[in-house]
Amino acid sequence: MMNGSAANNGMSSAFGGFRWMAGLREDYTRVFVSEWSPYLGAVFLVVVSAVLMLSGLFWGVFGGLKLWGDWINYYLGLAPLLQIKSQALDNPLMHRISLMNIALVVGALAAALLSRQFHINRPPRLEYFTGAFGGTLMGVGAALAGGCTTGGFFTPLMFGSPAGWAMWLGLLGGAFLGLKLLLWFMEHMTWGSTAGPTHPTPPGLKRLYPLFGLAVIGLTVAWVVWWYYSGDERLANRGIVILGGFALGFVLHRSRFCFARVFREPFMTGEGELTKAMILALALGIPVGSLIIQSKVVDPFLAIPASFWLGSLLGGLIFGIGMVFAGGCASGSLWRMGEGHLKLWVAILFFSWAGSTFSGIVKRWDLLTREMNLDLIDVTKVGYQAYWPNLLEGWGWAYVVCGAILLLWYLLVRYNESTERFTVL
């Protein structure tokens, strides 16, 4: 027979095992369920962007969405009218930015499943309209600016271009005007504003979500390994793109990081936490990006749009209005697609189509047609590829100017948090 001491030790060991499992569940909840700090998300965004730069790549969104729009116009029979050459259309899985967008959605889907936050969200019918309208404006704005909040604002700043600051100014104005217009619209439009019936996820199915999330991660890893070791240099490169996009989607979902909220929230509620996280991301990303560029690992002009300053400013203004109506920016809409928000699926559909259509229409005016000048940089009728070291003869003054803008932005946001002086509501 087991004596009392042995029995007690056995029970203690068993309960210790249960405590270990409880601790494991706590860690799982902390990492995969509880919302991450936006500051942690900002740091991870800089890390992933820097890794892409070290690989000779960059984070972009609009180029891939425009390709999707080109395919939509091809199937609609509008390709000849918009001068879209069907034989030049890339496979969406081979186009670098398109593949990164797809991987971003998959990464967000994995994060949503692991946290049991995936849910098919059916908004009121009116919001499908605002999503379509906002997405259309975002497509036009991104075409003018040479990129969205990612490729026209964040990434150009990491690559040393003032075009990002020109779009920043437009985005601020667009977010303010967009909120004013949206409030007026909601006051005068009542049709379709009532939410439809909800369809809760069966509890049994929801309990299986983490297993589905692990399956998504496993399939993504298998996909990356398959391509990376395929012996095809292009496929191996695309394997890095998949990893980068997946990581971005995962981080964006876990930290709820959205560029639309960065610009919208101070005007809407006075809350500036996400805006300050973006300021931190740029305070880290600009010097890190400059060091990578100075090491000559990546060509800075690879990710600098030919839109400084007019295209960036006007594009940012139009895009800012659109993202308020859509309820998300480009990357924010993509990760929320992975979470199951149908409104954002509509917004991205119209974003893609409008970006392609507007780009095709203005080809007749040569508005966005790139030409190379004597300095070997691309120029268009709405701007050129502006690069800080060329404008200021080095990085020193570039750091000073960018630091001053970030400090001013922080002070304005902090002042507004205390006074709500700039809030629209």
pTM to 2 decimal places: 0.94
164-176 pLDDT per residue, tens: 999 999 999 999 9
Angstrom distance (rounded) from CA 286 to CA 290: 6
- Start-to-end CA distance of the chain, whole Å, equals 75
Q: In what order do the strands lie in the sheet with 371-372?
A: 371-372, 378-380, 383-384
Residue 15: its pLDDT value, please?
A: 45
Domain ranges of the chain: 38-191+209-419
> What is the pLDDT confidence band of residue 2, given thresholds at 50, 70 and 90?
very low
- Report the share of the chain in percent with pLDDT over 70: 96
CB contact at 8 A, 98 and 63? yes
Calculate mean pLDDT across residues 235-260.
97
Q: What is the DSSP string of 137-187?
A: HHHHHHHHHTS-IIIIIIHHHHTT-THHHHHHHHHHHHHHHHHHHHHHHHH
**HEC per residue, 361-403:** HHHHHCCCCCEECCCCCEEECCEECCCHHHHHCCCHHHHHHHH
Residue 196: its pLDDT value, please?
A: 67
307-339 pLDDT per residue, tens: 999 999 999 999 999 999 999 999 999 999 999
Phi, psi dihedrals of residue 79, rounded to the nearest 5°:
-60, -45
> What is the pLDDT confidence band of residue 22, given thresholds at 50, 70 and 90?
confident
- Is the pLDDT confidence value at 11 over 50? no
In the numeric block, the tokens 């509008």 are attached to 78
Q: Which two tokens stand for residue 407?
A: 């400090």
Calculate mean pLDDT across residues 214-223.
98
| C-alpha distances out from residue 373 to 145, 152, 306, Å | 19, 21, 12
Of 209, 63, 73, 247, which is closest to residue 145 (Cα–Cα)? 63
> What is the pLDDT confidence band of residue 82, given thresholds at 50, 70 and 90?
very high
> What is the pLDDT confidence band of residue 18, given thresholds at 50, 70 and 90?
low
H helices within 208-255, ranges in order?
A: 209-228, 233-255
Angstrom distance (rounded) from CA 152 to CA 141: 10
Per DSSP, what are the bridge partners of residue 378? 372
Per DSSP, what are the bridge partners of residue 384? 308, 379
CB contact at 8 A, 317 and 141? yes
346-363 pLDDT per residue, tens: 999 999 999 999 999 998
Angstrom distance (rounded) from CA 357 to CA 215: 37
Residue 56: its pLDDT value, please?
A: 95
- Is the pLDDT confidence value at 8 over 70? no
What is the rounded average pLDDT for all residues in the chain? Answer: 94
Angstrom distance (rounded) from CA 374 to CA 144: 23
Angstrom distance (rounded) from CA 315 to CA 380: 14
| C-alpha distances out from residue 291 to 259, 296, 402, Å | 25, 9, 15
